[in-house]
Structure formats: structure tokens, C-alpha cells
Amino acid sequence: MKGQDSSLALSVIGAGHVGLVTAACLAHAGHHLVVVENDPGRLEMLRQHPTRMPIHEPGLAEMVERVMRAGPGSLRFTDRIPDAVADSEAAFICVGTPQGERGEANLYYVERVAAEAADALVENGRPDFVLIEKSTVPVRTGEAVRRTVERVLARRGRPDLRFEVVSNPEFLSEGTALKDFLFPDRIVAGVESPRGEVLLRRIYEPVLSGRFDWTGTRPSKHPVLLVTDVQSAELIKHASNSFLALKISYINAMANVCERSGADVREVARGMGLDPRIGPSFLRAGVGFGGYCFPKDVAAFRRLSEELGYRFDLLGQILEINDGQRRLAVEKLRKALWNLRGKTVAVWGLTFKPETEDLRGSPSLEIIGRLLDEGARVRAYDPAAGPLPNGLEERVARAASAAECAHGADAIVLVTEWPEFLGLTDEELKAVQARMNYPVFLDGRNAFDPARLRSLGFEYLGIGVR
Ligand code: UGA
């Protein structure tokens, strides 16, 4: 792909999950990328061992290796925004937007990048630069970025330097981020002028036309490039994440109704999902959503709507139902074991979903915290998770396997549906059951067939299942 006339010089500011995936995929698609990272440790790691990624994302290290092998200049790392501005036509802003005290997104890093980029535009006398928001930001951040850059340009006597702000939200899921980037359903481009649209079309041309090779299934349909104004693009991201979270909370609320009415939420979800207007995805009931995105984004959107003068109470309910699912898991264990105090609970799965080592917002951590508060002993096993945060590591015994974790326990609670758990054979599960003190199995993801576990001797409990 390299050396084609269509390749562009681009930069990515922030070598986090989104930044690294964006940079690797765009370099793989034939562009030349400069990545700016201001954390010295992370930068050193990327410079010295570019293929040893600071984040866990399947395929990313291989892709970076391939890009690096294809030729010098495809992908390089720096800590200087001025280098990025000098050597590229457009910069993707991929810095973090952590959650503030009242749920709002903290845009300090976005503002700082905008101001530094503006300084660099002045120093390079660079017109027509494009700043592309990729981080999840509240609606109207584009306007704020524009104002920040304009102020710096005015202060430094170069108000004549034209630039454009584009919103190009990411829709990457952890664990499938490469596929999500290279084979998306849609690419959203919120632009200020036709120039922004032309640039985004050029950047994504290899993705839009599917003109590159990478492992994995190539969908038959080409993605849609949706061009909108900046605010609408920003809102599409909020609206999409909140709607997906809503689907999960809706089916979890249904699970509660199912439990009280004798129905089975898996059947209800199947029946709902067959209606193409609803669709089957994100209707898996369980202990609720976690991760860095949904809990933070829904809270930020709620806060933002309030600031805009609209009380979007539905968003609050999404979060309340989600919290309730964690409490429900503990209640179910309490009901099954009578007293939790002094009981040993084996927790299967710590990460917020399978195929990641990310513990942020993980339902497991909340459930473990509650179990410990009630005096239970907790033993946990996860195939990928590192040390637990918030002082939990010292309070939780870590096992080396699912079977060891359950040995002598009074209950198992499955919180993350890792394939390793789902792949256990009847013999292996039977052996697990035989070595438990009480064979209570709380399936927090409705991942197992209840009849199968019951036939193996477990006291099976699901979420809204019979
Ligand atoms: C999510 C979105 O799916 C991406 O489209 C978006 O780009 C990303 O956030 C982001 O804003 O950056 P991610 O947080 O990686 O991606 O994870 P998901 O696969 O969406 O799962 C989120 C949580 O929902 C997990 O805890 C999962 O177990 C839970 N979930 C998902 C359910 O409880 N039920 C379901 O039916 C589906």
C-alpha cells in the first residue's frame, strides 16, 4: 500500500487505546503517521519496542510490526505536538476525557492539545490544518476547540491562519478494535466545510473501498460515510453509546420482570431480537455493563443534557438499573447461602468483558467489594486481569485456574464469560462441583445452559432465567 499518491501525512495525539488503534490502522491503510505521547514511560516503550503494545488489543502488535517492516516513516513516535503539526496535514485528537466529579467529561487535555497545536500552527506559519476530534467529547467541544485555537492565533498575531475542526467519533470496542476500525458499518464525519469532507474521504478511502488486506472476515457491504455538521457528529457518539447501554438496561429490567413472572429472559430477548426494528444485539441480560465507556459516557451525557437545559431522566435510569444488577447478584448469593459472612465465594472473571485485561468499571470489582463488605471471603480467577485496584488486591485471594478458584468454595459467581469457562467439559465441571463446599453456581452472564449445570449437580442460578 505504501508509496501510493493517495497517502497522507497524518498525526495522532495520544497513544491510548483509540490513538494506537487509529494510528496503526491508518498506517496499515497506507498513510504516514506521527504519534504524539507525553507520558515519558509509554513513549520510551513505543520508541524502543514499538511492537510491544502498552495496551492489550488482539492483532495490534502484529499490525504495528507489519507497518514498521513495510518501510521507515510509516509510523513514528514523538512527545512534541509541534512535530506533528509540522509533519502532517491533520491531527486526530485521541487524548483521554476522564470523568469529573459530577459525571461530566474532563476536557482539560483536549483544551491543552488545541492550544499547543495552535502555537505550533503559528510557529510553522501553517494554514489549513485540520484538527479531528476522535476522543469521546461532549457536544459543542468542536466549538470550544475552535475558540481556543482562534484565541491563540489572535494573541500571537496570526488570526489569518485558516484551520478546520472535524468531529470523527470512534466506534471501537475493546477486543475487536482493529476489525471495528477497518470494517466499520459507518464512518461519521462532522465537518465545518467541504474541505473537511474531502480530507476525511481521502483519509478513509482505503477503508471505504476495502482496498487493503488484513485477516478476518471482510463484510460484503462497504461502510457508509455519513457527513454532518460538527455538533450532530458529536451527538451521534453520545446517542449511540447511551442507546446501547439502554438496550442492556432494558433487558436487565425485563430479566427482573421475568424472575417475578416465571418467564425466561433469554426467550424474551430472542423474541424481541427477531424484529429487525429491534435487532438481537446488546440484549444479553446479566450483571450489567461495565468498561471505561458506557458508565462514563452515559453519566457525562446526562450531565451535559442537564447543562443544556434538558433533564434526560431516562439516562439516570439506565445507570440505576445497571447498579441494581450488581446488587442483585449479591442478593442472590445471600439468598442461596443464607449468611455471606464467613462463606467463600469463587469469582470467575474480573475484566469488564472477555478478551481484554481492562478492569475499569468492571462489575466484578463492585460485586467483590460488596461481598467483602458483608464478610465473605473472595477467591478470584481471571485469564488476563492484572492486579486489582482500590486496595482489593490485598483482600482477594487469586487462584491460578477456574477449578482451583472453586475448590472448597460455597458458591461460584461467573461475572465475565471468558471462552475458557464456557469451554469447560462436563467432566471438568463435574470435578469442580465435586470439590465445592456448596455447589451454588450464579451465572451472572446467563452464559451456561441451566439444564446442563443442574444435571451436573450444581444449584444453578441465572439472571431472569428459569
Ligand atoms: C463500547 C461500544 O460498544 C463501542 O461501540 C464504543 O466505541 C466504545 O464503547 C467506546 O465508546 O469507546 P466497549 O466498552 O469496548 O465498547 O464494550 P462493549 O462490547 O460494548 O461492552 C460493554 C459492556 O456491556 C460489557 O461490560 C459487556 O459485558 C456489557 N454487555 C454488552 C451486556 O451486559 N449485555 C450485552 O448484551 C452486551
DSSP string for 207-257: HHHT-S--SSPPPSSPPEEEEE-HHHHHHHHHHHHHHHHHHHHHHHHHHHH
Residue 285 is predicted with a pLDDT of 98
CB 129 within 8 A of CB 92: no
H-helix or E-strand spanning residue 403:
helix 402-406
CA of 287 from ligand 1 middle (Å) equals 13
Q: Which residues contact 139 (CB under 8 A, 6 or more apart)?
A: 231, 234, 235, 238, 304, 308
Number of residues written out for the chain: 466
Q: Compute the distance from residue 289 Cα to the ligand 1 centre, in Å.
A: 7
* 389 CA from centroid of ligand 1 (Å): 21
Q: Which of 231, 234, 6 has its CA nearest to residue 137?
A: 234
Query: What is the position in ligand 1's atom list of the atom closest to the CA of 172?
Result: 7
Measured from the Cα of 283, ligand 1's closest atom is 36
Which atom in ligand 1 lies closest to the alpha carbon of residue 282?
Answer: 36
3-state secondary structure 357-387: CCCCCCHHHHHHHHHHHCCCEEEEECCCCCC
Q: How far apart are CA 226 and CA 367, in angstroms?
A: 40
HSE-CB at 59 with a 13 A cutoff on CA atoms is 17
Mutate to test the pocket of ligand 1, among 293, 364, 414 (most ligand atoms within 8 A of CB): 293
Closest CA to 170 of 162, 180, 160: 180
Q: Tell me the best of 353, 382, 414, 446 to mutate to test the pocket of ligand 1, counting ligand atoms within 8 Å of each CB and taking the most.
A: 353
pLDDT 10s per residue in the chain (466 long)?
Answer: 444 468 999 999 999 999 999 999 999 999 999 999 999 999 999 999 888 888 888 899 999 999 988 877 899 999 999 999 998 999 999 998 888 888 788 898 999 999 999 999 999 999 999 999 998 888 889 999 999 999 999 999 999 999 999 999 999 999 899 999 999 999 999 999 999 999 999 999 999 988 777 776 666 678 999 999 999 999 999 999 999 999 999 999 999 999 999 999 999 999 999 999 999 999 999 999 999 999 999 999 999 999 999 999 999 999 999 999 999 999 999 999 999 999 999 999 999 999 889 999 999 999 999 999 999 999 999 999 999 999 999 999 999 999 999 999 999 999 999 999 999 999 999 999 999 999 999 999 999 999 999 999 999 999 999 9
Cα distance between residue 259 and residue 158, in whole Å: 65
Ligand 1 centre distance from Cα of residue 145 (Å): 28
Nearest to 94 by CA among 104, 102, 84, 103: 84
pLDDT at residue number 217: 63
381 in Cβ contact with 400 (< 8 Å): yes
d(CA 378, CA 381): 10
Nearest CA to ligand 1 atom 24: 289
CA–centroid distance, residue 339 to ligand 1 (Å):
33
Find, among 339, 345, 337, 364, the residue nearest to 405 by Cα. 345
Residue among 248, 356, 364, 367 whose CB has most ligand 1 atoms within 8 A, to mutate: 248
* pLDDT of res. 2: 42
Cell numbers representing residue 465 in the block: 432465567
Q: With DSSP H G I counted as helix, E B as strand and the rest as coil, what are the percentages for the chain, rounded to 5?
A: 45, 15, 40
Closest ligand 1 atom to 284 CA: 36
Phi and psi at residue 90, in whole multiples of 5°? Answer: -155, 150
**C-alpha cell at position 214:** 488484513
Q: Evaluate whether 411 touches 440 at the Cβ level (below 8 Å).
A: yes
**From 25, 94, 258, 293, active-site residue:** 293
- What's the 381 CA to ligand 1 centre distance in angstroms? 22
Contact status, residue 223 vs residue 184, Cβ threshold 8 Å:
yes
Give 160: exposed, middle or buried? Use CB within 10 Å, 0-12, 13-18, 19+.
Answer: exposed
Tell me whether residue 293 is one of the annotated catalytic residues.
yes
220, with CB counted inside 10 A (0-12, 13-18, 19+), is exposed
Listed residue (35, 78, 95, 89) closest to 60, CA to CA: 35
Residues contacting 368, CB < 8 A, separation 6+: 347, 378, 380, 388, 392, 396
CA of 239 relative to ligand 1 center, distance in Å:
14
CA angle 369/353/413 to nearest 5° reads: 50
The closest of 458, 399, 459, 401 to 430, measured between CA atoms, is 458
Q: Whose Cα sits closest to atom 30 in ligand 1?
A: 289
Rounded (5°) CA angle 332-256-286: 65
DSSP 169-184: ---PPTTSHHHHHHS-
Residue 297 CA: nearest ligand 1 atom is: 11
The DSSP call for residue 399 is P
Q: What pLDDT, on the 0 to 100 scale, is given for residue 56?
A: 83
Q: Which residues line ligand 1 (CB under 6 A)?
A: 136, 170-174, 241, 244, 248, 282-284, 286, 288-291, 293-294, 297, 352-353
